[in-house]
């Protein structure tokens, strides 16, 4: 018996048509993880929802989402390994030669440097969320969506061995150094050679500051060790 059920709903809102991706699960560790992945608990026990922009191919996106959602949750919770190298290679190859300007941040940026860390997903800053969605169209597990009251203006998600999540128009934090996902971090990027490619990532100084602000002690210690070597 499946431990996860999904349902697609449609909503009419003043700002435009929206859809609702719904997930139901009785597995406690899944229930604990879904809010960390951007899902909101609903009124019914075990039900979680995420509101997204409608899209012409939303049924195909939802089918792909349904196929991968349990794996995405388990990888995010570090219950099973994620194939981050395949995901990153796919993104880099599809973006090459396009107008997409992007950089990798979060745990993926540390893994690219060879640090001993296993990403549960890949976090990516992009200059154009819609373009990223078109480049990854056959891998989307969520429609590209304009966000309201979030950390960025728009975002999207795709899956290929790992969940790839991108955002555009991240809100300035005003911190020094800046957050690794915001536009100001563009002045603090480094090019890291990786599998015949060169991947843009934030400096370790920025990533250390973010880890410390988030209270990620183990990650901060790992970054300090890399900075000393």
- N-terminal to C-terminal alpha carbon distance within the chain: 50
Per-residue pLDDT for the chain (229 aa), expressed as one digit of tens each?
468 999 999 886 665 689 999 999 999 999 999 999 999 999 999 999 999 999 999 999 999 999 999 999 999 999 999 999 999 999 999 999 999 999 999 999 999 999 999 999 999 999 999 999 999 999 999 999 998 877 899 999 999 999 999 999 999 999 999 999 999 999 999 999 999 999 999 999 999 999 999 999 999 999 999 999 8
Measure the CA–CA gap between 48 and 20, rounded to whole angstroms: 10
Phi, psi of 155 (to 5 degrees): -160, 175
* 74: its two tokens: 């388990």
Which domains can be identified in the chain, with CATH numbers?
1-57 (no CATH), 81-228 (3.30.460.40)
Residues contacting residue 211 through CB under 8 Å, at least 6 positions apart: 219, 220, 223
Q: Where are the alpha helices (DSSP H) in the chain?
A: 28-33, 58-76, 84-95, 107-112, 129-135, 204-213, 217-228
**Cβ atoms of 143 and 185 closer than 8 Å:** no
**Cβ atoms of 189 and 200 closer than 8 Å:** yes
């Amino acid at each position: 018996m499946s431990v996860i059920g999904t349902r697609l709903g449609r909503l009419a809102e003043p700002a435009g048509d929206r859809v609702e991706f719904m997930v139901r699960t009785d597995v406690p560790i899944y229930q604990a993880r879904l809010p960390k992945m951007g899902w909101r608990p609903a009124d019914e026990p075990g039900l979680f929802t995420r509101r997204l922009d409608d899209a012409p191919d939303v049924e195909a996106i939802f089918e792909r989402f349904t196929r991968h959602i349990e794996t995405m949750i388990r990888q995010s919770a570090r219950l099973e390994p994620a194939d981050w190298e395949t995901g990153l290679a796919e993104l880099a190859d599809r973006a090459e030669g396009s107008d997409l300007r992007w950089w990798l941040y979060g745990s993926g940026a540390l893994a690219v440097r060879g640090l001993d860390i296993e990403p549960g997903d890949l976090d990516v800053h992009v200059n154009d969320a819609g373009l990223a969605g078109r480049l990854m169209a056959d891998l989307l597990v969520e429609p590209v969506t304009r966000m309201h009251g979030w950390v960025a203006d728009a975002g999207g998600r795709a899956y290929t061995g790992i969940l790839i999540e991108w955002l555009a128009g991240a809100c300035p934090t005003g911190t020094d150094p800046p957050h690794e996902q915001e536009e100001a971090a563009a002045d603090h990027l480094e090019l890291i050679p990786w599998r015949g490619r060169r991947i843009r990532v934030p400096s370790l100084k920025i990533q250390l500051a973010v880890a410390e602000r988030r209270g990620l002690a183990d990650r901060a210690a790992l970054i300090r060790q890399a900075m000393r070597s």
